[in-house]
Amino acid sequence: MGEPILIVDDNAANLKLAKVVLAQEGYDIQAAGNAEEAMILIQKNKPRLILMDLQLPGMDGLTLTDLLKRDPRTRDIVIVALTAYAMKGDEERIKAAGCDGYIPKPIDTLAFPSQVAEYLKKS
């Protein structure tokens, strides 16, 4: 089985698309629809990479990222924001919260696997 990746996104269509594209590349994919589900999955089996939607119900993705990066048990997980909010200043805000980078939504299904592979290589 390939590298473990957790996708956190409350939009079922976005979640399914990312999951299918990465599963075809051989990655071991877990999925969560909100921050609380993500925390449970992270504690059960620590992923190498988290693809984090920023707009989540309840706790948002940046808050969850901040919590994970402050915890010694999870701070080394690569977290990449998946966001449609790629406005001026957003990249700085995303990185300030602890994300290792971001991929704009909607994802480019052809480029997505290589973008994910690049983030995994950097870790």
* Crossing angle (nearest 10°) for helices 112-122 and 12-24: 70
More confident residue, 123 or 51: 51
Amino acid 91: pLDDT: 80
pLDDT exceeds cutoff 90 at 41: yes
Dist CA 40 CA 88 (whole Å): 33
pTM value is: 0.95
DSSP symbol at 100: S
Please state the domain count of the chain: 1
Angle at 44 between CA 42 and CA 45, to 5 degrees: 70
Look up the CATH number of the domain holding residue 23: 3.40.50.2300
85 belongs to a structural domain: yes
Q: What is the pLDDT of residues 80-106, one digit of tens each?
A: 999 886 677 788 889 888 999 999 899
- Across the range 59-79, mean pLDDT stands at 96
- Across the range 50-56, mean pLDDT stands at 95
The residue range of the domain holding 64 is 4-117
